[in-house]
Structure 1
């Protein structure tokens, strides 16, 4: 029960991080620079935790060679998922850019749990698990899609299905990252160490994108000075907590369970931010249909983990 609560809280943290990074992106004028700041701050925070806890920063050669090669690429997959959202937004709009990766995450999480991919704990695809996943998907549809259904009907993009498929694949990549980080944490006996490696990998990957594609690091100074809230620099800490909890939680509830719990927290926090206008976000009316969708999400979580 405690693990479920922690998973939802971590998801709520990533909802806050999204709003914080949105403000940072506004000042920097670049989603890639905002992501670089987020990854860098998260990596520094995790390295600090390792140092304070007395954890050795360098791994022994025998440890490195005994870990599967794919376990080192969680950070790269995280960067791919993040960058995909930036590229998808102009083609799909905000609603579908949110929903398609969610579908991919839920699908991939279920496949990983069912077949035990990436050495993830295997779980039978039972009837109550199926009902729970359907409730989660209906909850996402009710909370995110239904309030904007009219705008979706009016959106016509040539080859739209290709972008929708890309969004689903991006979500599958992010679910794979969760499983991979979980396995790395198991091998290293430290979810924090696994999260640190993932954040450093993401930081290096996004640095290359900024350097060769968008690259003007001097724009970082635009987020400093009068009228720039200090907290826009700390979204990465929430991201670090999210990845650390994910790497730990996978070994307890599986990849699919981790994805669903954090998704529930993410959507809950998003509704709270809209309702109360936290972090400078424009207040929006939370509709009753969205509350119904959130209830369906929570019911799905209960069906999967408590029955």
Structure 2
């Protein structure tokens, strides 16, 4: 009994460590792909390179873990939407590349998180994408309220307090930033839909890794077509520094998918979301605070920390 308890405790600690690491890596992926976009000159081309590298990694992982690429025959009788997860992933990844230089690392993370919470509540309440129906309860609504307060506090409260204290230093707000923030929320909603679709695909295939591979292959083909349609020209700006890490964005994306496939069976989907979200927020704060991966340095304020804490409380209420 003691040995079993210790084993379970060890697996829980391992799941927490993996969840935090893959969460921290997500804003790193956005920073890396944004830097790659600056070098190759196109967000679509940067996304294509990222998806292609992730696809190669998942092919190797599938061969190592599953040892075959066979699909269960039942997958062909599923609804057509089961194949669009990769398309939604393309929108999310490319959108992040566009958002990061405009609203910073923290907001590029928290606006999609808010969208994910909203879409997650809708998916659960109505049972979309063949998920189990989980009606909206008072505690889940309260959690959504905490998340909203956290978003407002992070995005607006800090700026408002700064203007109150130092009105002479206040800078006019670019009205286009609100459009970018809304775009971030919409992207988050698509990301939540992608997660539900890939989750169902993983159940049908009896393999989360094969579902991730299909998602990446669909995303890669989609981006290849997009680049052909818009006639993206390959360019490589050799005047800019090209550190080795600009190529790891796709690898990080694949590790995120694989990491989730590992920890969800160990701690459950709800706890996995909470752990990964804490990692996400931590990674975005570190990138902004220290200007990592070419990001502009942005001081982390007490208001931001409190607001992010409210978001975590809200997500715990919703998911657990």
**TM-score range, shorter-chain basis?**
0.7 to 0.9
RMSD: 3.4
Identify which of 155, 158, 181 aligns with 2:174. 155
Structure 1 pair 99–296 and aligned structure 2 pair: CA distance change class (3 A): closer
- Structure 1 residue 201, shift from structure 2 partner: 0.9
Corresponding residue number in structure 1 for 2:3: none
- Structure 1 residue 117, shift from structure 2 partner: 1.2
1:44 is aligned to 2:56: yes
- Structure 1 residue 242, shift from structure 2 partner: 2.2
Structure 1 pair 20–148 and aligned structure 2 pair: CA distance change class (3 A): farther
Corresponding residue number in structure 2 for 1:24: 36
Mapped to 2, the partners of 1:273 and 1:89 lie a distance apart of 11
Corresponding residue number in structure 2 for 1:301: 315
- Structure 1 residue 130, shift from structure 2 partner: 2.1
TM (normalized to structure 1)? Answer: 0.81
Show structure 2 runs of 5+ residues with no match. Answer: 1-11, 164-169
Mapped to 1, the partners of 2:47 and 2:210 lie a distance apart of 21
| Superposition map of 1:103-182 within 5 A | 103-148=114-159, 154-156=173-175, 168-182=185-199
Show structure 1 runs of 5+ residues with no match. Answer: none
1:275 is aligned to 2:289: yes
Identify which of 194, 199, 204 aligns with 1:187. 204
1:198 is aligned to 2:215: yes
- Structure 1 residue 180, shift from structure 2 partner: 0.2
Identify which of 239, 242, 245 aligns with 2:256. 242
TM (normalized to structure 2)? Answer: 0.78
Mapped to 1, the partners of 2:77 and 2:264 lie a distance apart of 20
1:210 is aligned to 2:224: no
Structure 1 pair 9–298 and aligned structure 2 pair: CA distance change class (3 A): farther
Aligned residues: 297
- Structure 1 residue 277, shift from structure 2 partner: 3.0
**Residue range with higher mean Cα deviation, 272-281 or 96-105:** 96-105
Bigger-Rg structure (1/2): 2
Mapped to 2, the partners of 1:7 and 1:247 lie a distance apart of 10
